[in-house]
Amino acid sequence: MMKLLLTGATGAIGGGALRACLAHPQITKIVAFVRRALPEEISSNPKLETVLVEDFSNWTENLLDRHLDASAMIWYVHLLIYFKRFRTAVL
């Protein structure tokens, strides 16, 4: 039995990782931290729990404490989102 945490499941790469993990027989539970809802055909899988996260730069203790029993984590969040926030123009 393995519980896996996953970020980035709504994107192309993270979504591919999610589908592969759902098909893997040794992974029994996947907690996907997402910005928006996943398609019904994926979200209805009994192995999957989704957690909506508005800001991936702010993780609360309560959110993390509920998943201390996870065996692994796959982290894929596109960093361009964060770079756009802090970008400055140099002329």
For 20-78, the pLDDT digits (tens) are: 999 999 999 999 999 899 999 999 999 999 999 888 778 888 888 888 999 999 987 66
pLDDT, residue 80, reads 55
- Under a CB-based contact definition with an 8 Å cutoff, are residues 19 and 36 in contact? no
pLDDT, residue 91, reads 42
Give residue 89's pLDDT band: very low, low, confident or very high (50, 70, 90): very low
